[in-house]
Chains A and B, each alone.
Chain A
Amino acid sequence: MNEKQEKLIDKKGIRLDGRKADELRPVKLQVGVLGNADGSAYIEHGKNKILAAAFGPREVHPKHLMQADRMVLKVRYHMAPFSVQERKSPAPSRREVELSKVIKESLEPALFLELYPRTGVDVFIEVLQADGGTRCAAITAAALAIADAGVPMRDLVVGCAAGKVDDTVVLDLYDAEDKLGAADVPVAYMPSLNAITLLQMDGILDPEEFEKAVNMAMEGCKKIYDMQKEALKTKYMVVKEVEE
């Protein structure tokens, strides 16, 4: 731990991957990529490649998980064995279980759960390639998949992280920065309602750095939100453009 560590951000404020402190990685989104799912989306966020599929609302199986007065959202976040440097066992890890839970809880606030009692929406997230910030990218794709399935939503939910490398608060950490940096703060946000639906941190930040990181993450979220809207509209624009 006391070996000389390579600097993650240089004197000019440029990070190892060439970005400035407040720069997002490139994001690409596509809606409606899977024919069998009711809704689906694919995201490339930096080197992350993630697929999300939504099924429902439909009957809940097993039946004992059904709720009499509301819809149940189930989320499965899963990483493909080849998604990371060292092959990951296909069996669900404790991390995947926790992430499935927090992702579910980041999407639930967007849904009108009371509208469709005794039904369920199942969201499956497959991380095909991971490079830091997968839970945020997964949320961005999952929200699109749910909207694509025609499930009413209060807003799209968008995810983006911020953190600290060396002594600088930066936006959107990739894997190396996440592993070697001082803190990582993933955030999920509903911009129209100014609502934070996911917030976690590991690392160490003082209160001012924390506030700065959250604000930076929200700005990143807003930028990705515009791309989400575009991606959704692009799929349905084809339908619209048959004008006389």
Chain B
Amino acid sequence: MIGEFMPTFFEKKQLVTPGELLAEGDYLPGENTYVEAGKIFASRIGLVDSDNKKVNVVALRAFYVPKMGDIIIGTVTEVGFNGWTVNIKAPYTAMLRASDVLARPFKPQNDELSQVLTAGDLIVAKIASFDRAHDPQLTVGEPGLGKITRGQILHVTPTKIPRIIGRKGSMISMIKQETNCQIILGLNGVILVTGKALEDEELAIFVIRKIEEESHTSGLTDRITQLLKEKKQVKVEEKVE
């Protein structure tokens, strides 16, 4: 059918596999797609949709690729001579330099790095630099970054993070408000939830998991809002009893 636009070969939110032909002609390749001989194919398994002329595939399975400026949560794996090696759940191992943490010139003879951060510690950090030739370098030199001392960690597929954030941060703001928790979303799919009470943290985690499972469905925001209200109501009722 030749209409206003050239043909696409999918329905909205259709599940596609790598190599599936999505569109031909006057379309632009978006996320998780590629072009070959004027045709757009999917490159990952996911749900396909088009936004104007751009064809995107929301991947159901993907790994995190570091980008400069990203906030991530990582685990220290090794204490080295002048810094720490950090696992950020990416194909590349990240480095955190001692000079960044100590915020002053680093004296190897005097400073015992393992007393600052040791293997197994969790940190919230920012990707300070990353390019094709170098492993990602991290920084903790900004407010809100640094060693994690309390709270609960959960892991989600990195592709779901934008949905958990919501449009203009609306979803995550609502969750924070309703559960009274501090939530840090690492773009690498690691999330830190810190609340005053255990049940607050549990509720936040429950809600986040639900968003992860149903991220591709419509009406999710309303369902989550409803869910939070109900749970809050239950809490109030429990307190009254």
Contacts and interface: CB of A to CB of B under 8 A. Distances in A.
Any A–B CB pair closer than 8 Å: yes
Interface of A: 38-39, 56-59, 68-69, 110, 112, 116-119, 147-156, 190-193, 228-229, 232-233, 236-237, 239-240, 242-244
30 contacts: A39-B61, A56-B91, A57-B63, A57-B91, A59-B92, A59-B93, A112-B34, A116-B65, A147-B18, A147-B45, A148-B45, A148-B61, A150-B44, A150-B62, A152-B18, A152-B32, A153-B18, A153-B44, A190-B19, A192-B19, A192-B41, A193-B36, A228-B17, A233-B17, A236-B15, A236-B45, A236-B61, A240-B15, A244-B218, A244-B219
B214 interface: yes
A119 to B, nearest CB: 4
B227 to A, nearest CB: 13
B19 A154 contact: yes
The A interface is mostly helix, strand or loop, or mixed, namely: mixed
Given A147-B17, A244-B218, A154 B91 contact: no
The B interface is mostly helix, strand or loop, or mixed, namely: loop
Interface string B5-18: 00000000001011
A153 B19 contact: yes
B55 interface: no
Contacts of A38: 63
A117 B133 CA distance: 8
A68 B133 contact: yes
Nearest to A60: B91
Q: Residue among A151, A152, A154, A156 with the most chain B CB within 10 A?
A: A152
Interface residues of B, number: 32
A91 B21 CA distance: 43
Interface of B: 15, 17-21, 32, 34, 36, 41, 43-45, 47, 59-63, 65, 91-93, 132-133, 213-214, 216-219, 223
Contacts of B216: 240
Contacts of A119: 91-92
A243 B104 CA distance: 54
A151 B59 CA distance: 10
